[in-house]
Amino acid sequence: MPTYYDTEIKSRLMLGTAQYPSPAILAQAFERSGAGIATVSVRREAGGERAGQAFWDMIGDLGVHVLPNTAGCHSVREAVTTAQMARELFDTNWIKLEVIGHADTLQPDPFGLVEAARILTDDGFQVFPYCTEDLVLCERLVEAGCRVLMPWGAPIGTGLGLNNIYGLRSLRAHFPDLPLVIDAGLGLPSQAAHAMELGYDAVLLNTAVSKAGDPAAMAQGFARALEAGRLGYEADPMEPRDMAAPSTPVLGRAFT
């Protein structure tokens, strides 16, 4: 199972907590999927005795690790300030770092992302950066102190799946020992299984589950797909080839 900053998580599934039809359905999605990490937007929920206390109590009752995020931040200063708020509210050094650079695609700002990652790492944070599959960007993030990378499969909320298989495969090969999590763009369990077959360690989902007709069932479907895909990866699958090869031997075949 994946280990993030020396903490082992007994699930390959992370779930976001936004846009569910009800808190009860959100809880069912976590229960049926066995997801081990819940991401929480600091902008949307408050802590302590403020308005978000009921939500925080519910998240605490799930018994999962909480990964606050800086969703919606468009500058380094905004992301760093939000991360500092998150540490105070949720009592964790973990932070999912988002620095959005493009309003339409929600693509991360690579320059701001590296700068913010370096600032937060120096301040004692354990950073989970939402990034693209760009190798140079990912190298800079690792140099900045990130021990986890979270490349997108496709733009947030699109459900398009894994848009750049070559890039994601190259990233896995370049960082064979670093935890890699597909973050954003998945819409179907089969896409999550494909991520596992590429050797990825986990996936983070929100829209694909929360906007499904039956979020709890979809969350469970993704969990099973992750297990199947990982088993396939670990089983050392056959290499694809252009020519057919008979599965039944031709020796001993009747002939005239």
**DSSP per-residue codes, 48-75:** TTSTTHHHHHHHHHHT-EEEEE-TT--S
Angle (deg, nearest 10), helices 23-33 and 53-62: 20
Residue 96 a catalytic site member? yes
The contacts of residue 54 (CB under 8 Å, 6+ apart) are: none
Can you state the angle between helices 23-33 and 215-234, rounded to 10 degrees?
A: 20
Residue 207 annotated as lining a ligand binding site: yes
Instruction: Report angle CA 251, 252, 255 to the nearest 5 degrees.
Output: 105
Say if CB 42 and CB 70 are below 8 A apart.
Answer: yes
Q: Is 185 assigned to a binding site?
A: yes
* Three-state SS sequence of 113-182: HHHHHHHHHHCCCEEEEEECCCHHHHHHHHHCCCCCEEECCCCCCCCCCCCCHHHHHHHHHHCCCCCEEE
Q: Out of 96, 172, 194, 230, which one is annotated catalytic?
A: 96
- Check whether 206 is labelled as a binding-site residue: yes
Give the residue numbers of the binding site for 1-deoxy-D-xylulose 5-phosphate. 157, 184-185, 206-207
Residues with a catalytic annotation lie at 96
